[in-house]
Amino acid sequence: MASFSDTIFALSSGPLPAGVAVVRISGSAAFAACEKLAGKLPDARIASLRSIRNRDGNLLDQALVLVFPGPNSFTGEDCVELHLHGSRAVLSAVYAELEASGCRTAEAGEFSRRAFQRGKLDLAEVEGLGDLLAAETEMQRRLAISGSSGTQSKLYASWRQRILHARAMLEAELDFADEEDVPGSLAQSVIRDVAALREEMQEHIRLEGAGEIIRDGFKAVIVGAPNAGKSSLMNALAGNDVAIVTDIAGTTRDVLHADLNLSGYLVRLYDTAGLREATDKVERMGIDRARVKISEADLILLLCDLQATDHTGPDLPDGIPIVSVGTKLDLNPDVYAGKYDLVISTETGAGIDELRNEIIRHIEARTHGLTQVVPSRLRHVNHIKNAIFALRTADDWSIRETEFLAEDLRQAADALGRISGRIDTEEVLGVIFSSFCIGK
């Protein structure tokens, strides 16, 4: 089992071979181990070129060496970074020397976990850092920065502080009710403050879907009858041939998927089997899968061939926004255009940009353009809901004694404390840190 007293090392840069490979070493023996490799270490935070040698004095490489004395380092421990040439042979030789000095390879997320254990990051910041490492789009980066920079943590900490203050006021009334400088109407003041705070928290979790959409992607599902142009639209939006396009009805028999980056948002686009009464067993399975994916959609793109005689469309779930799209505009311009939100032609590209903008408009309506701090993880949302539940029980002042109200406030404060990871978090730590790469 890994010990936090060990000195650890790992590659913290990209896969080999590479122009530069950054090896990070952290722990009480980091300086001594690196002195064996590089001789006298440079001053703190000053990059210096050093010759890296093995125990026999043979030159392994020349590298930049950076020293970060604890506690002013990422992990809070003594840390060293070696900026080596990124060959597998160099890394293998340096690793062998570090192991000979008593260091061991780090486990996934162990550097970040040490930073958490030493109070350099709280758990919400760690999760934000993990999201930042995985971010692929601009909005994912912005959401991750909100977490990793501590913006979310500061908001939740301010809520917790207000709850602790309210609890202190109630307990002051309990403990010092006979004192002249403790007003007897403290409970009334507290209930007003708690009511305002509860509303803030409820408004915050109403944005729960925004964080999920930004992190996991906005699901847009293309729906329509066979030969409505679904696969052609999929290819046009994706910019490559994701789906096979033919004139044969039922060509698409499974749900096809492509990820798009639209104005910094991750859009998960799905092409589904044409919805109709099918006799072919495989096609029926594809239609069943299509209906499942439709039920999970954030937006439905309902396609209809402008040349078709039946424009009724399939039955679709309630509550999911629908954009109706007339297709094959190049073959039949303007005939049924008024019946649809948009008309397009994948042959000429007409209307495709307008459709992209319409998708973006729906995303921004759901995410508020990321202009507010939004909850980024279900774990956060659940703890905030627990806090709200505890505060809601504090409403009925007429039948609950002040002692019980103080206990409600304690439970609410503890629920918010679990977001930052300072209360009862051991069971979730392994799950969170195991998702990190080895060098982080």
Domains of the chain: 8-117 (3.30.1360.120), 125-206+379-421 (1.20.120.430), 214-369 (3.40.50.300)
Mean pLDDT of the chain: 84
Beta strand pairing call for 256-262 and 322-327 = unpaired
Q: Count the Cβ atoms, other than its own, within 10 Å of residue 366.
A: 18
CA distance 439 to 67: 17
CA distance 112 to 435: 11
Least confident segment among 100-114, 203-217, 233-247:
233-247
CA distance 74 to 23: 14
CA distance 266 to 215: 8
Whether residue 370 contacts residue 142, with contact meaning beta carbons closer than 8 Å, is answered with yes
CA distance 2 to 8: 10
Q: Which residue has the higher pLDDT, 440 or 118?
A: 118
Q: Highest mean pLDDT range out of 57-71, 241-255, 300-314?
A: 57-71
pLDDT tens figures, 88-128: 999 999 999 999 999 999 999 999 999 999 999 999 999 99
Residue type, position 138, single letter:
E
Contacts of 418 (CB under 8 A, 6+ apart): 383, 424, 425
Model pTM?
Answer: 0.78
Structure tokens at 26: 């952290």
Q: Which single residue is written with the structure tokens 């590479």? A: 18
CA distance 270 to 290: 9
Torsion sign over Cα 199, 200, 203, 204: negative
For the chain, give the percent of residues with pLDDT over 70.
Answer: 80
DSSP helix/strand/coil, 67 = strand
Angle 182-187-193 from CA coordinates, rounded to 5°? 110
**63, containing H or E segment:** strand 59-68
CA distance 188 to 190: 5
